Each structure stands twice: as structure tokens, then as C-alpha cells.
Structure 1
Amino acid sequence: MAKIRITKQFTFETAHALYGYDGKCRNIHGHSYKLDVTVIGEPITDMDNVKCGMVIDFGDLKYIVKSQVVDKMDHAIILNKETPHIELAQTLKSSGHDVILVDYQPTSENMVIDFAKSIQSKLDPTIKLHSLKLRETGTAFAEWFASDNV
């Protein structure tokens, strides 16, 4: 049976700041992110299976990505937990804002690595995460490929 790639795109709004950066992005600012998630697998051939012909139901992929990434990141502020903005982060959290403190610099490159780990952990073993493409702007993106990370 042939391997088929399935892609679904997601969007979310997230703010971040780059601790120690030497440009404007050291300040808290936001992006309208677009995340393309591509998985690879063989279509189900069992005619008694309601998902016959599918690698994965797009709804199932949507559930995984929304629960692991989108619902957590949308309209949140992501900061390196070592940031000097930590006092601001604590104030925002105590005021009911969603603040995510991470162990890495929240660049698109590091975010896509984090997303790959989260998504992979929830996929059925017969389906593999093939790639992620995270667009920070209309002209700038980071890509993760499983084949580059074996």
C-alpha cells in the first residue's frame, strides 16, 4: 500500500518576547501564526472500518493539534522562564491572563520543536508526524521534518 501525506492548517494568535535579543523582538509583541501539520501513513483498507480510505480523520488530527498546541497557545503570552519579564508574567497571570513559561527561547524554531514532541506523543503508532511548518509572518517560517531528526 502507498504512503500518503495528510496536511491540516491551524491558526492562532500568540505573543512572545525574546530574552536577550538585540532587536525589537526583545519586547513583548504578537503574531498571527499559521501551523501546517503533515502526517504520513497508509490509508485504512478495512471496509468495515468507518474510516476506511483515510490515513487519519481530519477531525482526529484537528483534535490532537488543538488540544496539544492551539488551545494552549491561542491568545497567550509565551516567555522564556529566565526572562527579565518574569515579574510582568506573574502580574499578568495573577490578573487572569494566559502566560506560558518555557525552558527555551520562544522563537519559531524552538516552538516548532516543542510542537513536534507534543503532537507526536498523541498520534497512533501507525501514523507518523512527517513535518510541521510554523509561519510567524506572511514571509517568515520555521519547518521541522521527521527525516531531519532521526
Structure 2
Amino acid sequence: MSKIRITKEFNFETGHALFGYDGKCRNVHGHSYKLAVTVIGEPISEPDNVKLGMVIDFGDLKKIVKEEIVGPFDHATVFNRNTPHLELAKELQIRGHKVILANYQPTSENMVIHFAEKIKNRLPKNIELYSLKLRETETAFAEWHSQDN
């Protein structure tokens, strides 16, 4: 049977600051991120399977991405764990804000690598993560492709 790619898109709002950066993005700011998740696999061919003809149920893929990415990152502020913004991060947490202290500089490039690992770990064995496209703005995005990794 043929391998088929399917894609589901997600939206979330996240703030971040780039520690040590020499431009405006060193300041805390936010983006309306758009994440396209593409997986590849063979459509289910067992006639008695309720998901006959599907590579993966879009609802199942949605559940994985919502739990691993959208839920934690939506309306959160992401800081590099080594940032001098730790005092600010702690103050935000005390005031009830959602803060993520990442083990990486929270650029789109590093975020998409992190997202790929989280999603790959949750996919069924017969489904592979093919690619991710994380759009930070309408004109700027980072992509992760399995063939490159």
C-alpha cells in the first residue's frame, strides 16, 4: 500500500525573550504561532477497523499535539533557563502567569526541534513524524524534516 502524508495545523500564543541577543527580540514579546504537523504512514486497511482508510485519526493527532505543545505553550512565556530574566520569570509565576524555563534559547529553530521530539515520542509505532513547520510571523518560520535528521 502507498504511504500517505497528512497534516494538521494548530495555533497558539506564546511570549519569549532571547537572552544575549543583540536586537529587539532580547525584550519580552509574543507571537501568534502557527504549527503544521505532518505525519506519514500507510492508511489502515483492516476492513473491521473503525478507522479504515486513515493514516491516523486527525482527532488522535490533535490530542497528542494539544497535550504536548499547545496546552503547555499557549499563553505561556518561555525563557532560556540560563537567562538573567529568572527573577522576572519567578515574579510572573508568583502572579499566576504560565512560565516555561527551557533548556535552550527559545528561538523558533530550537522550539521546533523540541516539539519534534515531544511529538515523535507519542506517535503510534506505524506512524512517523514527517515534518513540522513553526510559523512565528506571516513571513518567518522554521521547519524540521525527518529526512534531515
Cα displacement (A) at 1:82: 0.7
Match of 2:122 in 1: 122
Shift of 1:95: 1.1
Instruction: Specify the alignment match of 1:68 in structure 2.
Output: 68
CA distance in 2, matches of 1:34, 1:116: 14
Q: Secondary structure at the match of 1:113?
A: helix
Normalised by the length of structure 2, the TM-score is 0.99
Give SS of 2:124's match.
Answer: coil
Aligned position for 1:29? 29
Question: Paired residue for 1:4?
Answer: 4
| Structure 1 equivalent of residue 39 of structure 2 | 39
Counterpart of 1:137 in structure 2 is 137
Counterpart of 2:148? 148
| SS of aligned partner of 1:56 | coil
Matches of 2:28 and 2:69, distance apart in 1: 20
* SS of residue in 2 equivalent to 1:96: coil
| RMSD of aligned alpha carbons | 0.3
- How much has 1:46 moved relative to structure 2? 0.5
Unaligned 5+ runs, structure 1: none
Superposed CA offset, 1:61-112 (max 9, x none): 0000000000000000000011111000001111110000001000000000
Q: Give the CA deviation at 1:3.
A: 0.3
Measure, in 1, the Cα distance between the counterparts of 2:56 and 2:105.
Answer: 32
What's the counterpart of residue 54 of structure 2?
54
1-side partners of 2:94 and 2:128: how far apart? 39
1:24 and 1:86 map into 2 onto residues whose CA distance is 19
Unaligned runs of 5+ in 2: none
**Counterpart secondary structure, 2:142:** strand
When the two structures are aligned, how many residues end up with a matched partner?
149
- Structure 1 counterpart of 2:113, which letter? I
Q: 2: distance between equivalents of 1:19 and 1:28? A: 10
List, as ranges, runs of 4+ consecutive aligned residues in structure 1 with deviation greater than 2 Å. none
Q: Which residue of 2 aligns with 1:79?
A: 79
**TM-score, normalising length from structure 1?**
0.99
**C-alpha distance in 2, partners of 1:91/1:67?**
26
